[in-house]
Structure 1
Amino acid sequence: MTAARIEENRSHPRLPALLAAYHLVNQAGKGAVVATVAELPAVYRVEAEDPAGAFAADTVLLATPPGADAPAGCVVLKAPREGRAPEIKRLWVEPGARRRGLARALMAEALRRAEASGVPAVRLTVWDGREEPLALYRSLGFETVASWDDRPDLLCLERRLDVIERLAPEAVRAHAPAGLAALLVDAVDGGASVGFPGPLDPTEAASWWLGVAEEAAGGVRDVWAAHGPDGRLSGVVTLVRVGAANGRHRGEIARLLVHRSARGRGLGRRLLAAAEAHAAATGLRLLVLDTQTDSPAERLYRGVGWTAAGIIPDFAADPGGTLRATTLYYSRL
């Protein structure tokens, strides 16, 4: 199935009509029916008449259905203000374009951007009784929290976000027996070709990460991990530095792992971006990696601009023992 096209554009010519439809329906739902944009309360009218100005500090996303030439949905990710978490607002999909995944695609991209900004949480409000949007928000991990808005029947929801941090060697050692080992075991159990036959014993996985801690202490490898609000690790990536004198401009991305329970939220992309940014900041000019040919990871690397250099057949055995091809990738920084 072809995915909807998501774009950021607060000046798109279709945006005023989308926001106008949202507000007119929303007013009707509150029992304050109005027929035209001119009759909307001023705070809402300005959004429909001049969205570029009303949302000048915010992120406005639009969704175009597959095969269409104009957006049929929108959402706004408000910028954080006064130390408060950013808020998602104005989620709207035209009635004729519903049941095609546009609302979920818009929400997923808004959450991805919120996570990429490093904020610890994102929030939203929804009227009690709106079962369909409530079901969507809860499926995306939002939970009801104490209200910050005293309007009756308005529910306040919040989702805590994954945080990515670079792990010092002692932190790698501390996480090796549990969180890091669990990520490696989960990858092997899921069929990923990451250097180990399956099933992988957690003790062996922990031992491998303890070796990584020693490499980190020696300046050979850097490690980034993502953890959720409960502190459990949800993803990891490492950057290996080349020791040869003629290769010190080059590094290798290795063991980019996202737990299966945390996939689909852009976490792999964020982990990779963290490693790339550090590589560039510390003088590396070229990154390389290899990944199993036709694996889901290939879509990630291609999607963020990495270049495929070639395929090597029968490069490594997958966890089940079958030899698989690998594709070599590189990225110039």
Structure 2
Amino acid sequence: MNTSIEENRSHPRLPDLLGAYHLVNQAEKGTPVATVAELPAVYRSEVEDPAAAFTADTVLLATPPGDDLPAGCVVLKAPREGRAPEIKRLWVAPEARRKGIAKALMAEALRRAAASGASAVRLTVWNWREEPVALYRALGFATVASWDERPDLLCLEKTLEETLVKPLEKPLATAADRIERLTPDEVRAHASAGLAALLVDAVDGGASVGFLAPLEAPDAAGWWTRVAEEAAEGVRDVWAAHGPDGNLTGVVTLVRGGAANGGHRGEIARLLVHRSARGRGLGYRLLATAEAHAAASGLTLLVLDTQTDSPAERLYRGAGWTAAGTIPDFAADPSGVLRPTTLYYKRLG
């Protein structure tokens, strides 16, 4: 049996793993604390709310064969400001070591980084951590010029090869949602069920996506039916995420500029992840999928708007989008209260 790898920022076991990591890290740095409550605020926030702390990142957990709970974790940070994605928080519980869990987590993190189009991955490690350093060296990481001047901290980087994108000879078990582009007919087929359910769930959850609560399923289905017509006209592209059970767990659409002088740009609209599927990095994956398609189809600029200070805003900032400005009282939230909206843009290529 293989180690099982899952992506889940909201797993109830994750705070324990992160807490253990940070407590050991503080002790090794010579600044020990007894409890998570005594950790520096930046680390304590990760333990208290991993889903919020890593909202734009990929969090992987590893469960050994025959066990019910994860015994290890690693975080693949989203690339920021043109930098390579960074691997952080690699941790395996002491009782589960010497079973290849750390290597399995690293292999999956590297595979996902390569699949996202990254050309390299970087990380930092204290030079006294002999076993992790040996693992990173074995995986092909090399010392590079420091981007963090703290004493005794090594900065390592690995160039990713195309072969990393290919499935492993012995695939790791994963629970990743499958993302695919929907044809206009498929949008119509899902309009009254899965797609309508995603829109209703978003409005019920307080997301400002153009509708007031309560949103009735027939109204949501009607909106998606109109989207299907736009897809047929080539105005809008739609991608949906399918969970392991086949149900739709998320969706994103890309609207192309209609003006003669706006053919170079597009708009990200209706990025929705069902509340039951959050914490797995799905929003970032959907966004990255739409961005990659936009770039491949010749678009050079993307725009979007989102309610100011919403969870979605953290996702966009983490994914490299730039805030262009905020408009007060721009749109009502589902309860009817006027809220500010922040406009974002991202250059492609």
TM-score normalised by length of structure 1: 0.60
State the partner residue of 1:246: 261
Does 2:287 correspond to 1:272? yes
Q: Tell me the SS of whatever aligns to 1:319.
A: coil
CA distance in 2, matches of 1:236, 1:173: 14
Would you say the 8 A contact 1:173–1:213 is kept in 2?
yes
**After superposition, where does 1:251-330 map in structure 2 within 5 Å?**
251-330=266-345
Cα gap change, 1:302/1:49 in structure 2, threshold over 3 Å: closer, same or farther?
closer
Q: Which amino acid aligns with 1:317?
A: A
Structure 1 vs Structure 2 CA RMSD: 3.4
Aligned pairs, number: 222
How far 1:206 moved relative to its partner? Answer: 0.3
- 1:229 offset after TM fit, Å? 1.4
SS in 1 for 2:295: helix
Cα deviation, 1:44-76, whole Å, max 9, x if unaligned, reads xx977842454459xxxxxxxxxxx979xxxxx
Q: Quick one: which of 237, 240, 247 aligns to 1:222?
A: 237
2:224 aligned with 1:209: yes
Corresponding position of 2:171: 85
The answer as to 2:255 corresponding to 1:171 is: no
Partner of 1:160: 175
State the distance in 2 between where 1:186 and 1:197 align. Answer: 12
Partners of 2:331 and 2:165 lie apart in 1 by 46
Partner Cα separation in structure 2 for residue 189 and residue 50 of structure 1: 49
Partner of 2:18: none
- Are residues 49 and 274 of structure 1, via their aligned partners in 2, closer, same or farther at CA, if it must alter by over 3 Å? closer
Q: How does 1:189-208 map to 2 (within 5 A)?
A: 189-208=204-223
Unaligned 5+ residue runs, structure 2?
1-43, 48-53, 55-74, 78-83, 100-129, 142-151, 155-163
**Whose RCO is larger (CA < 8 A, sep 6+)?**
2
Q: Which amino acid aligns with 1:332?
A: R
Compared CA separation, residues 25 and 47, structure 1 to 2 (3 A): closer
Query: Which residue in the other structure is 2:38 paired with?
Result: none
Q: Is the 8 A contact 1:309 1:328 kept in 2?
A: yes
Which whole-Å CA distance do the structure 2 matches of 1:265 and 1:189 have between them?
A: 20
> What amino acid does structure 1 have at the position aligned with 2:333?
D
Q: Displacement, 1:85?
A: 2.0
Structure 1 residue ranges without an equivalent (≥5):
27-45, 58-68, 72-76, 87-121, 123-158
In 2, are the aligned partners of 1:47 and 1:54 still within 8 Å (CA)? no
Q: Which has the larger radius of gyration?
A: 1
User: What is the identity percentage for the equivalent residue pairs of Structure 1 and Structure 2?
Assistant: 69
Change (3 A) 1:85 1:7: closer
User: Are the aligned partners of 1:252 and 1:289 in contact in 2 as well (CA < 8 Å)?
Assistant: yes
Match of 1:150 in 2: none
In 2 relative to 1, CA 325–3 (structure 1 residues): closer, same or farther, beyond 3 Å? Answer: same
Paired AA for residue 245 in structure 1 = A
1:191 match: secondary structure: coil
Q: Distance in 2 between matches of 1:252 and 1:217?
A: 17
Cα distance, 1:24 vs. partner?
7.1
Q: Which amino acid aligns with 1:2?
A: S
SS in 2 for 1:160: coil
